[in-house]
Structure 1
Amino acid sequence: MAALYGLRTRDAAGVVTFDTTITPIRSLRMMTVAGNGAFEQTIAVPEIKAQSFVVVDALFDGGEYTWSPPAFWSTGQLRLRQPQTRSWQVMVLSQGGEAFSAPGSYGIRARNNDVLTQIDSMNRVLSVHSSGAFTFGFMGSGNQRQWGDVNFPTPIRTTERPLIFLNAVNYMMAGNFYIKGSPGNWTGFRLKAYNNQSAHGSVANQPMQIKWFCASYQVFGSVTGQYGASVRNEEGELTFVTTANLALLNSQPASNSFATSGNPITGAGGYYASSERMAWTGSYDDYVLANALFSCTNVVQTTQPFRVNFGGFLPGNRNILQMYCENWDGINPVGVNGRTLFASRPMKPL
């Protein structure tokens, strides 16, 4: 048996609550950047390292036309396309190999073969706030349930929008995603069904069974009795506790892994939605991040500024993530925002 090194904690019932041999946690660095109105804006972000992964997200509730800008990054810098003059949430994800982020910071780091784990006093980890399921789409003859509408059991009090991860029992085609509320008071999310029989066959005439979980940087839970471990920052705020259910970040594209592939969707009145695909994990246990990918793209200067991105999982196939981007004139289609997504699953059963 190979030697294992690191940390493991259990609760009073003997259930493992944290294990550095199986939990590929990335630390997170969160910040806010402001757009300057340029078509493309380059922002110095020293925290972005060669192995970092970046997620850019909105900080507002714009309803079904909430959008986020296409984002590109390289070591030390972030490039946003048409950020306008809004403020944007930037999350730098680390694989845990970098040094602690500032002198005097502290925490836990472990390496087990290729699994890197870092919990420190500067960067909060993602943990599950709530989860659930709903059904929408084609519900029967003459009954199309267009929207899935979820209210969190309690509001999330962080400035940053929580991250919503979606899965499905089988087929999922959805878009116009947005999170309800405002910074410091995020209350739920909405999602629109885009089931299409001409593109995907008879499965589109069955209800879509959606599973979801919400992950936040707000730390949930506490250590009681003699079980578990926690880390606090210098202000005494919890940045990590083993009683929380961590969101694992277990697959991510190196850049934009989408490629134009498959048949576009066309319709009356010049309707056109380009087809783009990327390789997915193959596992029905993996959830996809909805925040940027399933929201709109705003191309600003056109007669159709908001381009709807919709998609998800094809029937019986988790080797492909299928997305479409609406573009009514069929000219110069905008690619979906595939740089700011990753696959996740909760460490503990929901």
Structure 2
Amino acid sequence: MADLYGHRTKDSAGVITMDTTITPIRSLKMMQVTGNGALDQYIAIPEIQAASFVVVDALFDGGENTYSPQAWYSQGQLQLRRAMSSTWQVMILSQGGEPFAAQGSYGIRAANNSVRTQIDAINKVLTVRSSGALNLGQQGPGSGSFIQWGEVTFPEPVTTYERPLVFFNAADYMMIGRFYVKGSPGNWTGFRIKAYPSIAAHGDIARYPMAIKWFCASYMTPNTPAGDYGESVRDAAGNRLFVTSANLSLLNSQPSINSFSTGGTPITGAGYYASPAQMGWTGSYDDYVLGNALFSSTNVGQTTQPLRANFGGFLSGNRSVLQMYCENFDGINPVSVNGRTLFASRPMKPL
């Protein structure tokens, strides 16, 4: 029999509100890095472990021209491409299998066999803040109605310095891009996303509405009451870091690989070319994909069209791959979305 060590809480109805055998995403480290103007920049970050997920995110609202650098990571190292001279947010996320990080004050730590859960002032859980649905794209065959943009205002601003993380899912087909979060550090107010259905590449499914679900998560816990059955964690200043009545954003499953390769049908037109790329996905319709870096544009430097839109998502009836495209226009030396940092997540409790 396996050793049973850990921590569990339930509410008054006996529903489990926290179980350390279910690993929440937690941050081992949040930091900012600044581009040095080089094409490729290599940054030593010892906290990146073999099992870590790394998210490199923008810290500004540039409208639909918001962009993120291409990023790759390996144990102990982050590589950025065309980071320019901007400052970027780096979040190193754990599955719970790594050694415990440096422990902050005012928190909890539990080990259950090989699963480690650590919640404190340094290592914070990712909590669902708000959620909703969007109807985008063509509204049916022969319909003259096309909803191009989806715009969301959060019920209340997210006041973290780093942008909140926004995750997307769909009932079936989804092709979206030009993502950006509205607001500024300390006052993130919502997001916008653009529809990119392609009849040429994906067939008649692109003539129908895309039923998209989303949720927003951040490292600041909303003001959800702890209730009579539960617990909360606060830091030295009294800021609440965690409450068992909150809904955690979990890394229940992950992509089979963490990089893209050329795959799928290119999208072409007069003076237009979008290069295709695929990544093995989880196979589950319950998994949401992180949109922050993946669906924002790529900056390719000093060209007549430096910002290239990335768009993509899920093919109809297929969750074994994540299908992405990067606009290239002339089709010469196409830019790939390869290297963008992302992961699959789902809420611990129903939305």
TM bracket (short chain)? over 0.9
- The residue type paired with residue 120 of structure 1 is D
Q: Would the aligned equivalents of 1:223 and 1:242 in 2 still touch at CA under 8 Å?
A: no
- Which residue in the other structure is 1:195 paired with? 197
- Which residue in the other structure is 1:258 paired with? 260
- The residue type paired with residue 52 of structure 2 is S
- Which residue in the other structure is 1:58 paired with? 58
Map Cα deviations across residues 56-87 of structure 1 (whole Å, 9 max, x no partner): 00000111111100112233332211111111
- The residue type paired with residue 273 of structure 2 is Y
1:250 is paired with a residue of what secondary structure?
Answer: coil
- Which residue in the other structure is 1:79 paired with? 79
Partners of 1:234 and 1:274 in 2: CA distance: 50
- The residue type paired with residue 94 of structure 1 is S
Q: Would the aligned equivalents of 2:226 and 2:244 in 1 still touch at CA under 8 Å?
A: no
After the TM superposition, which residues 145-160 of structure 1 pair with which residues of structure 2 at under 5 Å, given as runs? 145-160=147-162
Matched, 1:161 2:157: no
- Which residue in the other structure is 2:121 paired with? 121
Q: Would the aligned equivalents of 1:107 and 1:121 in 2 still touch at CA under 8 Å?
A: no
Normalised to the residue count of structure 1, the TM-score between the two structures is 0.93
Partners of 1:72 and 1:175 in 2: CA distance: 20
**For structure 1, which segment, 102-111 or 175-184, has the greater mean C-alpha deviation from structure 2 after superposition?**
102-111
Matched, 1:137 2:137: yes
CA-atom RMSD in angstroms: 2.0
Q: Would the aligned equivalents of 2:257 and 2:280 in 1 still touch at CA under 8 Å?
A: no
Normalised to the residue count of structure 2, the TM-score between the two structures is 0.93
**For structure 1, which segment, 114-123 or 128-137, has the greater mean C-alpha deviation from structure 2 after superposition?**
114-123
User: How many residues end up aligned between the 2 structures?
Assistant: 348
- Which residue in the other structure is 1:277 paired with? 278
Partners of 1:104 and 1:127 in 2: CA distance: 20
2:206 is paired with a residue of what secondary structure?
Answer: helix
- The residue type paired with residue 345 of structure 2 is S
Q: C-alpha displacement at 1:161, in angstroms? A: 0.2
- Which residue in the other structure is 2:307 paired with? 306
- Which residue in the other structure is 1:332 paired with? 333
Aligned to 2:246, which of 244, 247, 252? 244
**For structure 1, which segment, 216-225 or 260-269, has the greater mean C-alpha deviation from structure 2 after superposition?**
216-225
Q: C-alpha displacement at 1:234, in angstroms? A: 3.1
Partners of 2:267 and 2:252 in 1: CA distance: 31
Partners of 1:215 and 1:28 in 2: CA distance: 17
Partners of 2:160 and 2:35 in 1: CA distance: 21
Map Cα deviations across residues 15-49 of structure 1 (whole Å, 9 max, x no partner): 21111123354334211111122222222323223
Q: 1:254 to 1:172 in 2, by over 3 A?
A: closer
Gaps of 5+ in 2: none
Map Cα deviations across residues 105-140 of structure 1 (whole Å, 9 max, x no partner): 75212224x544222331211100000001010024
